[in-house]
Amino acid sequence: MPEFDSSHVKNIVLLGHAGSGKTTLAECMLFEANIINRRGAVQDKNTVGDYHELEQERGNSIFSKLMHTRWRGYKINIIDTPGYDDFNGEVISALRVADTGVLLLNASMGVEVGSDIIWDYTEKFKTPMILAINKLDHEKADFDKTLLQAKAHFGSGVVAVQYPLETGPGFNSIIDVLKMTMYVFPAGGGKPEKKPIPESEKEKAEQLHKDLVETVAVNDETLMEHYLEKGELDEDEMREGLKKSLIRHDIFPVFCLSAEKDMGSGRLMGFIDNVCPSANEMPPQKTMGGESITCDPNGPACIFVYKTTSEPHVGELSFFKVYSGVVKSGMELVNEENNITEKINQLFIVEGNKRTAVNELVAGDIGATLKLKHTHVNNTLHVKGKNYALNPIEFPAANMTVAIEPLKKGEEDKLSQALHAIREEDPTITIEVSPELKQILLHSQGEMHLAVAKWKIEHVHKVDVKFTKPRIPYRETIRKPSESTYRHKKQSGGAGQFGEVFMRIEPWHEGMPDPKGLTVRSREEHPLEWGGKLVYYNCIVGGAIDTRFLPSILKGVMEKMHEGPLTGSKVRDIRVSVYDGKMHPVDSNDISFKIAGMMAFKQAFQQADPQLLEPIWHLDVFCPDDLTGAVMGDLQTRRAIVEGIDNEGHFRKISAKVPLAEMDGYSSSLRSVTQGRAKFHMHFDEYAPVPFEMQKKLIEDYHKTATAELV
């Protein structure tokens, strides 16, 4: 039998802006429950959560960590998450399996941008949320201001359960308006003494208690009736009302903390075990086919993998949540993604980097297993005979791209293996081998994200690499019609080569009429994989060129369009009309007309006012109102065209179109000009003409490089 049943397993995720105290709180919770016998500190590099060498080097969390504690008959699984937006994939995957979120707010800083970003994710998942105002012992702590900001940012459901008697270095007392008692902590923190609320605070405490009761009652008709009848709700009614409101994402109770001094964590854990929902009290999970999976230990075994890590000398560790049934060591489960049966050889509960083997895990619990060879993040595993596929985690698109290459020649295969391993661990990193740019591209969330990837490649996989600026995928087109004739003739003994092509090319746009002055025999429209189209007309009269050679001419044109005459970039949006030519009864063949078509197209293109196009991206920047000017100023240096400024939540949203060529380093630049208080999203929008002087320089640079490669 599992040690804890589904009703006694609570899964929480610690969330918050970097520096809000998540890892320190996790350390408190483990210490209070006697899981550890001394509290570590982030600055001392000895916490259970931030055990990774890179985290200790940088002084902040980078990866999500699974831990657990035991409190009054309940098992509380804790997932500690990073606070920087670069590592939002770790936050999203943790939210996917948590049943309650605890959002820490720094009392000296108020609601920071990282908190707003995280809140957007919790709204998407509709995660039951608790707010904990931490660092109330800081000399600049301001509980009331932080609470008001939380209400403004997160809505009227934010309601105080506690408030501090005083803040700053003298902080040691919390007034709890749910229990209507005061907790006074000893100098070293830990277990508080319960005392009556002072007379000077009774009026304030009673008003806040009334506000809390009314907020709970308003969200439940039955409780509202009881409240109107009695003017109060008893403890059981409050507990059930709070739980229902949390599940519906209606109420967000606020608690007080000094995690560093170990003040308030015990009461928070008490609320988690007593009020917060277990997995079996949450709405059933939905499969991709629309089927419901209830968190029932008596149901068919089903797990969902939300994270994988690779450990030296151990292999891949897969973290999962049990959504149904009981999973046991030695059990065989089917991976719905690939229909491969995986054997669960070992099961673990995890405490940072420490693993403890267990025989089974019940529905609602979170654990880990080793060496699932064919299982990855977002995979559902289930007993044979079922077809469960739980909805996958949707990871955010990349915001930054670099080219990557090994410093030493001959290590390309090692780099490829390293990148594959990193991608397995972190789905927010994507790898692209670009034949067009002749580069390996690494797409990530930002500068810090890239730095972590580089560290892993060099320290774990032992491949020294360098990041370079990715080349820009320019496009080439024309602005006016042009005609050319090209004769290909070659005679060198035996059969020769002969083909002559008369060609007209024109800028193509949707809905344009057929070519003037030409007899159209046939028309072909070819959407190009790199965007735009090639429209190809056969306008040959009198059999000047045999129909069988027309595909060869098209092939020659298409070959040149893969590598345009200006900068070697791909060509788009051209109409080609072949209207005359000559053949030789013996020497004409496919290769002759392919070459003639290619050269005729090249000549005509160079005479048709060629235009270089650059990719334009749509950019949305979200920043506080007082930073709008700084963001706008930076965008102006990047040839951006600002399209609008709107309000979105508590941010100003600046929408702009920016050339991709100007976006190098934007992530770090934005962080610098806004002190990390802004975020951005971008996506491809269109191709637009490159300015004349810039086009001239790009063409010159291309031809210099091409000439140098020939020497």
Q: Indicate whether this model's pTM tops 0.85.
A: yes
- In this structure, the strands spanning 9-15 and 74-80 are parallel
Of 577, 608, 639, the position where a domain reaches its end is: 608
Q: How many domains in the chain?
A: 5
Residue 710 in domain: no
268 and 132 fall within a common domain: yes
Residue 319 in domain: yes
**CATH number of the domain to which 416 belongs:** 3.30.70.870
How far apart, in whole angstroms, are the C-alpha atoms of residue 382 and residue 335? 7
User: How many CA atoms are closer than 13 Å to the CA of 265, on its beta-carbon side?
Assistant: 27
Residue 711 in domain: no
Residue 395 in domain: no
How far apart, in whole angstroms, are the C-alpha atoms of residue 260 and residue 265? 10
pLDDT in tens, 572-629: 999 999 999 999 988 999 999 999 999 999 999 999 999 999 999 999 999 888 999 9
**CATH number of the domain to which 370 belongs:** 2.40.30.10
656 and 518 fall within a common domain: no
Of 232, 259, 281, the position where a domain reaches its end is: 281
pLDDT of 12 strictly over 80: yes
| In the chain, % of residues over pLDDT 70 | 98
Residue 561 in domain: yes
Residue 261 in domain: yes
Output the CA–CA distances (angstroms, integers) from residue 67 to 7, 49, 321, in the order listed: 19, 8, 13
pLDDT in tens, 504-524: 999 999 999 999 999 999 999
Contact predicate 564/570, CB 8 Å: yes
pLDDT at residue 53, as a whole number: 82
Of 281, 300, 325, the position where a domain reaches its end is: 281
149 and 219 fall within a common domain: yes
Gyration radius from the chain CA atoms: 32
36 and 88 fall within a common domain: yes
Residue 440 in domain: yes
643 and 563 fall within a common domain: no
102 and 251 fall within a common domain: yes
360 and 493 fall within a common domain: no
pLDDT in tens, 169-213: 999 999 999 999 999 999 989 999 999 999 999 999 999 999 998
Dihedral sign of CA atoms 108, 109, 115, 116 in order? positive
Which amino acid is located at 138 in the chain? H
Contact predicate 455/478, CB 8 Å: no
Q: What is the DSSP letter of 110?
A: B
44 and 191 fall within a common domain: yes
Q: What is the DSSP letter of 185?
A: -
**CATH number of the domain to which 656 belongs:** 3.30.70.240
Contact predicate 319/305, CB 8 Å: yes
Residue 706 in domain: no
129 and 28 fall within a common domain: yes
492 and 578 fall within a common domain: yes
Structural domain including 315 reads 285-382
300 and 218 fall within a common domain: no
141 and 228 fall within a common domain: yes
**CATH number of the domain to which 199 belongs:** 3.40.50.300
